[in-house]
Amino acid sequence: MNAGRIAPLALYQEVAERLRQRIFAHELPPGTWVDEQALATQYGISRTPLREALKVLAAEGLVTLKPRRGCYVTEISERDLDEIFSVMALLEGKCAADTARKATDADIKRLLDIHSELEQAARTSDIDGFFEANQAFHQEVQLIADNRWLTQAITDLRKVIKLSRHHSLFIDGRIEQSLAEHRLILDALGKRDISATEMAMREHISSGRRALAKIAAKREATA
């Protein structure tokens, strides 16, 4: 039995998820032409569910369908990142403000527990663990805010950000800076200060963009 073959249930969705993960892992780097025939053969499926999967990924901004040229993994530019992060700052700031308005003591405790995981990952220089705990922190903020449309918009934008070849946590001092930003968010949340929470979250997102810009600048300087 071919382990690469996919069960027929929700076929195009499973294909979309497999391709999504390959794109996030940069097994299919930005700008790569998607060879439909090769993928269909690899997965043991027809091209119809594959094309449906590619339409899903195109709607998410992960691939670009070009008439008469085929499908390509989306290339994300510095301008794209500027625009995406500016929108992300607004959306996540709004989400944090709603969280400050709605959070119970138990909610705050969960966020503090996740932040403790961030602190532990930082102490052990565990970048993967830090990244996962950071994701969990933001997801918990969204859960408390309880606005599914806001959460969906943020989730979609974060998928596109993953197309970037670099991660801000690799900048020297960025983990410590991110921790300090989280502490400010938590302090404002603990005080139920809606405005301060929103501004602290906006600054946290904007700071992440500035760190990515530094990586791009260093890359250009050494090119």
**Got the DSSP string for 50-108?**
HHHHHHHHHHTTSEEEETTTEEEEPP--HHHHHHHHHHHHHHHHHHHHHHHHH--HHHH
Sequence letter at residue 137 = F
Task: For residue 1, tell me if it sits in a domain.
Answer: no
pLDDT digits 0-9 by tens, 191-215: 999 999 999 999 999 999 998 888 7
Q: Which of these three, 73, 102, 127, is where a domain ends?
A: 73
Distance, in Å, from the CA atom of 121 to the CA atom of 51, rounded to the nearest integer, reads 40
Sequence letter at residue 201 = M
Determine the structural domain holding residue 105 and report its residue range: 78-222
Q: Mean pLDDT over residues 139-151, rounded? A: 96
Rama region for 146: left / alpha / beta (φ>0; ψ in -120 to 50; rest): left
Same domain for 92 and 158? yes
Same domain for 34 and 124? no
Q: What is the largest CA-CA distance in the chain?
A: 59
Is it the case that residue 154 has pLDDT exceeding 90?
yes
Same domain for 62 and 138? no
Q: Find the CATH number of the domain harbouring 27.
A: 1.10.10.10
Please choose, from the candidates 99, 120, 94, the residue with its C-alpha nearest in 3D space to the C-alpha of residue 190.
99
Distance, in Å, from the CA atom of 88 to the CA atom of 100, rounded to the nearest integer, reads 18
Q: Find the CATH number of the domain harbouring 119.
A: 1.20.120.530
pLDDT of residue 7: 53
Same domain for 110 and 195? yes
Q: Which of these three, 36, 53, 73, is where a domain ends?
A: 73
pLDDT of residue 6: 56
Confidence of residue 163 (pLDDT cuts 50, 70, 90): confident
pLDDT digits 0-9 by tens, 62-114: 999 998 889 999 988 889 999 999 999 999 999 999 999 999 999 999 999 99
**What sign for the dihedral angle of Cα 143, 145, 150, 154?**
negative
Same domain for 97 and 200? yes
